Amino acid sequence: MRFSARLQASDSPYALGEVRYNVDGSVDDIAWSRPQHDGPALRALAMMDYLKLNDLDPESANLARQVLKIDLDHLSYAYEAKGYDLWEYSFGHHFFTRLVQMRALERGIAEAPRFMRKEWRIAAASLRSELAKHWDAKGGFYHFSLGKVTNWEGNEVPEVGAGRDASAVLAANYARFEEGSFSLNDPKLLSSAWVLEEYFRHAYPFNKDHAFAPGIGRHPDDDYYGGNAWYVLTSGYAELYYGLAARLQSDEAGLIVSSESEAFIESALGRAVRIGERLRPEDSLKFLAKGDGFMATMMDTLGKDATMAEQFSKEDGSGLSAADLTWSYSSFLSSALAREAVAASGVDYASLSFDCGAK
């Protein structure tokens, strides 16, 4: 937290939109995709989680509140600004950034009322309105970006993947809405997840033997290192399925099949469903098995040292790009914690393993 406070006070012209720092806290001014506005939102969410911990000493709690207030104040005036996406490629208004910004502001309004400014409410309401516009009813997915998008040189570029991008699942996992739009049981979010799961199931040769829970890439147009599956995204899908399993165990309303979520749910359950059908708690085992399948797919790519790179090959599953990427490990751990939450909700999962349809 002290390091975060130092970074917030840096002299970068991009303020909290700065993305690169040296280990001493100074700005790393190498040419990069600046600004990025998802970082302060994600840090704010982390600070609010931290403040919920028991036995925090007063000094740590006060510092966390200071960091939180600065981040939320920043979001309240930066929410309309364009920035680079989480993949650091395109400059514009992006679904991922907007969703975590909105979630941070809405949680801040509820959990930090003593610091709240009216601008927080204005920003949160505006973001919710703009996020609704990302939905593509014809394609069945939340668009990655909205409006004009440019590259590093300022030239307008087409939206990647015709708008399809698996980061929508990451955004929902990070935001952790309990219900409604953009939650894990949002039919539109499930449709967005299904569109790409189905695409990558057939697009990557590696997935021929992992069709049950395929390795997930970023978007159909990806050509970075040849365009492969990413650990962070495949873990993200595991976390999505685990989250749904836990909800089916604990939510009396359950999950109701809609026209948007029908294909996703039928694939998970392995049977036909009807519009309006309410899933039962016992259906959670199918979602748990699907989550285990994604974990198994990743485990099939690991060598004896069990290290995770940024990507694994769409051809043979070998590690590619950045070695030992922290994001890959943290996402795997987050998925494992989501699986523990399923167990805590009462599912009898002792007999299940990471086989579940994977090679």
pLDDT tens, 189-233? 999 999 999 999 999 999 999 999 999 999 999 999 999 999 999
Considering 107, 136, 163, which residue would you say is the last residue of a domain? 163
In a shared domain, residues 232 and 343: yes
Question: For 1-5, 120-124, 190-194, 206-210, which range has the lowest pLDDT when averaged over its residues?
Answer: 1-5
In a shared domain, residues 157 and 248: no
Note the helical H segments in 159-230. Answer: 167-175, 187-203
In a shared domain, residues 70 and 25: yes
In a shared domain, residues 142 and 1: yes
Considering 136, 163, 190, which residue would you say is the last residue of a domain? 163
By the 10 Å C-beta count (0-12 exposed, 13-18 middle, 19+ buried), 178 is classed as exposed
Res 359 pLDDT > 80: no
> What pTM was estimated for this model as a whole?
0.94
In a shared domain, residues 157 and 175: no
Considering 146, 163, 180, which residue would you say is the last residue of a domain? 163
> What is the domain extent for residue 346?
166-359
In a shared domain, residues 278 and 342: yes
Give CA 319 to chain center in angstroms.
22
* Apex 170 CA angle, 144 and 36, nearest 5: 60
In a shared domain, residues 45 and 150: yes
State the pLDDT at residue 7: 86
Q: Which of 93, 118, 96, 92 is nearest to 105 (CA)?
A: 118
In a shared domain, residues 155 and 223: no
In a shared domain, residues 171 and 146: no
Percent of the chain with pLDDT over 70: 95
In a shared domain, residues 58 and 71: yes
Residue 212 φ then ψ, to 5°: -60, -40
State the pLDDT at residue 162: 85
In a shared domain, residues 155 and 199: no
In a shared domain, residues 201 and 65: no
Domain count, the chain: 2
